[in-house]
Structure 1
Amino acid sequence: MRILVVGAGATGGYFGALPARAGQDVTFLVRPHRATVLRSRGLRVVDRDEEWSVEPRLVTADALTGRYDLVLLSVKSTALRQAIEDVAPAVGPGTAVVPMLNGLAHIDALNARFGAGQVLGGVAKVVTTLNDEGDIVRLAPLAQLTIGEQGGGLSPRVEKIRSVLAESGVDVLVSEDVTAAMWHKWVFITTFGAVTSLMRGTVGEVNAEPGGTELGPAVLAEAAAVAAAAGYPVPERETAATLGIVTATGSPMVPSLYRDLVAGRPTEVEHLFGDLVARARALSVATPLLDLATLHLRVHQRRALAGS
């Protein structure tokens, strides 16, 4: 199976490095600057108990040729439009495209460009970041990829992809309702992002202050209400897991959106928050806290883009 990983950052780089290390036919489509870093250092993963690297096969958009069997798409939503055009030459009639973005708006964009039949649903759960040297640092044990057909059910192609990735060491699950899984991840990431970005602090810092432990449950209730109104209620076990994370005392956890925010970089505000509150309006669901987080992030976004 020929695999093309679009983006070699903290998420795509990690999930692509595993099959590359296992000897699978993996190529990374990267920007020229990232290619320079990876050619000089290799694709390095600093895990919790080991450090390892692979010499990745790299290609830039101007040199991409040939069709691939599987495309793992892992870019920021702000780079999605360009990534779709960049990867188009690699997508043929038999190619399966698995996006690893949060939210849902990217599915519409991919369906419009490649056809819904070639686009799978995907959910990546991993806590990684890039350090100053460009290496991938794994910060927590969780590292799981969920894939599935947009229309639901099981299929031979999804099982084949699962088998190839699993044999390479990827913890991969197949969902018979991957759209629900994507909604549930969306609820989690917007709750996590709203709590930390509104308060400009880690989960532990927020919960250390009077009233802090009330914020997470209140934001979660709003996001979950949107999902339920859309037909994808969040299971109790996932609600409990999210509550456990956003109300944890002493926790240093922050999402990547928060790291972008405090660093003055643009965020995925429209893809994650703007789209969610727009759907809430259409479904007549009140989301005052999510509206506030969206406004806060939009003000930051204007400043960040003006300074870039």
Structure 2
Amino acid sequence: MRIVAVGAGAIGGFFGGRLLQAGRDVTFLVRPGRAAELARDGLVIKSPNGDVTLQNPPTVQADKLNEKFDVVLLSCKAFDLDDAIKSFAPAVGPQTAIIPLLNGMRHLDVLDTRFGKDRVLGGWCGIAATLNEHRHVVQLAPVFQSLSFGERDGAMSNRVRAIAENFAAGNIGSQASEKIVLEMWEKWVLLTTLASSTSLMRAAIGHILAAPGGRDFILGVRDECTAVAKAAGYAPGEAFLTRINSMLTTEGSPLTASMFRDIKAGAPVEADHIVGDMIARGDAAKVPVPKLRIAYTHLKAYENQRA
């Protein structure tokens, strides 16, 4: 099974690198600068679960991509999606399965329109990872890694089984799911709650909880997101809600969203894809989302200031 990982950053580099380490056929679609780094230093993964340096990992640049692959592992930011699609489109053939690991849901519509719904699986990943100053992939938490994928209609197809078997050797927490769209919605509920709360307040969960009204605000955002998901037909499960309630109400928690960290770094943010689209779906379902609107206004003001 031939896999092309779009990018070799924190997400694509980690999951693609672990699969390559396990002997799987992985090629990284990268820009010239990243290709030069990988050729010079190899793909370096620093992890509490074991470091590895993969010398001369297979790479290809967009203008040289002329082969079809069985799987496209897509892990770009939402604001880079259009450029990513242009770069990997030549790799998509009649039997190619695209596994998008973007947050939210709007990217599914974009990919469906470009490639056809039958080529686009559902997918999501969980990992705390970053690129350090040496451009090494650094995994920050040893037990937090997962990659789920599946047919969006819930079927356990032959291609999903084949991908699951291929990915298993990578020891990346991969699993085929028969409820992948629900899982994607659940992750979106959590991420939007975290991103809206920590970005708006410019503080970690523990600091917000310690502020007057902080707990009510966080849980109010959670409730708005949960209501939107329910209206869409994907009400989060009780086990999920119990788990995130613990995450969102732990006193002293240092937990923040990557969006908040991006704001601190002056980087672009996925305001429209994460928070804006949740609001749009709430409006369509006539679900009130006043707290999300406040957070979204803040994020758009940040984007205007940054521009």
2:26 corresponds in structure 1 to: 26
Offset of 1:36 from its aligned partner? 2.5
Compared CA separation, residues 151 and 260, structure 1 to 2 (3 A): same
Offset of 1:49 from its aligned partner? 4.9
Offset of 1:213 from its aligned partner? 2.6
Q: Which runs of 5+ in 1 are unaligned?
A: none
C-alpha distance after superposition, 1:17-76 (max 9, x if no partner): 111101111001112222222222222222125322213211111111210011100100
Identity of aligned residues (%): 43
* Partner Cα separation in structure 1 for residue 131 and residue 245 of structure 2: 27
Helix, strand or coil: the match of 1:11?
helix
Helix, strand or coil: the match of 1:161?
helix
Q: TM-score, normalised by structure 1?
A: 0.95
Could you tell me which amino acid in structure 1 is paired with residue 221 of structure 2? Answer: V
1:5 corresponds in structure 2 to: 5
CA contact (8 A) 1:64 1:90 kept: yes
* Partner Cα separation in structure 2 for residue 37 and residue 165 of structure 1: 26
Given the alignment, which residue of 246, 254, 257 partners 2:256? 254
The answer as to 2:88 corresponding to 1:92 is no
* Partner Cα separation in structure 2 for residue 45 and residue 214 of structure 1: 40
* Partner Cα separation in structure 2 for residue 302 and residue 237 of structure 1: 39
Could you tell me which amino acid in structure 2 is paired with residue 224 of structure 1? Answer: T
Could you tell me which amino acid in structure 1 is paired with residue 210 of structure 2? Answer: A
1:190 corresponds in structure 2 to: 192
CA contact (8 A) 2:276 2:296 kept: yes
* Partner Cα separation in structure 2 for residue 149 and residue 109 of structure 1: 17
1:164 corresponds in structure 2 to: 166
* Partner Cα separation in structure 2 for residue 4 and residue 44 of structure 1: 18
2:243 corresponds in structure 1 to: 241
Q: What does residue range 25-174 of structure 1 map to in structure 2 within 5 Å?
A: 25-55=25-55, 56-140=57-141, 141-174=143-176
Helix, strand or coil: the match of 1:173?
strand
Could you tell me which amino acid in structure 1 is paired with residue 34 of structure 2? Answer: R
* Partner Cα separation in structure 1 for residue 158 and residue 295 of structure 2: 42
Compared CA separation, residues 208 and 84, structure 1 to 2 (3 A): same
1:281 corresponds in structure 2 to: 283
Offset of 1:88 from its aligned partner? 0.7
Could you tell me which amino acid in structure 2 is paired with residue 24 of structure 1? Answer: R
CA contact (8 A) 1:96 1:120 kept: yes
User: Structure 1 residues 290-299 or 55-64, which shifts more?
Assistant: 55-64
Offset of 1:252 from its aligned partner? 2.1
Helix, strand or coil: the match of 2:267?
coil
Offset of 1:234 from its aligned partner? 0.5
Could you tell me which amino acid in structure 2 is paired with residue 125 of structure 1? Answer: G
CA contact (8 A) 1:65 1:89 kept: yes
1:224 corresponds in structure 2 to: 226
**Aligned length, in residue pairs:** 305
CA contact (8 A) 2:22 2:170 kept: yes
Could you tell me which amino acid in structure 1 is paired with residue 17 of structure 2? Answer: A
Helix, strand or coil: the match of 2:233?
coil
1:293 corresponds in structure 2 to: 295
C-alpha distance after superposition, 1:203-227 (max 9, x if no partner): 2222233332332211111100000
Q: TM-score, normalised by structure 2?
A: 0.96
User: Structure 1 residues 37-46 or 159-168, which shifts more?
Assistant: 37-46
Offset of 1:14 from its aligned partner? 1.0
2:16 corresponds in structure 1 to: 16
Helix, strand or coil: the match of 2:128?
strand
CA contact (8 A) 1:158 1:174 kept: yes
User: Structure 1 residues 94-103 or 247-256, which shifts more?
Assistant: 247-256
CA contact (8 A) 1:216 1:243 kept: no
Could you tell me which amino acid in structure 2 is paired with residue 91 of structure 1? Answer: V
Task: Report the aligned-residue RMSD.
Answer: 1.3
CA contact (8 A) 2:148 2:180 kept: yes
Offset of 1:12 from its aligned partner? 1.5
CA contact (8 A) 2:199 2:257 kept: no
* Partner Cα separation in structure 2 for residue 61 and residue 86 of structure 1: 5
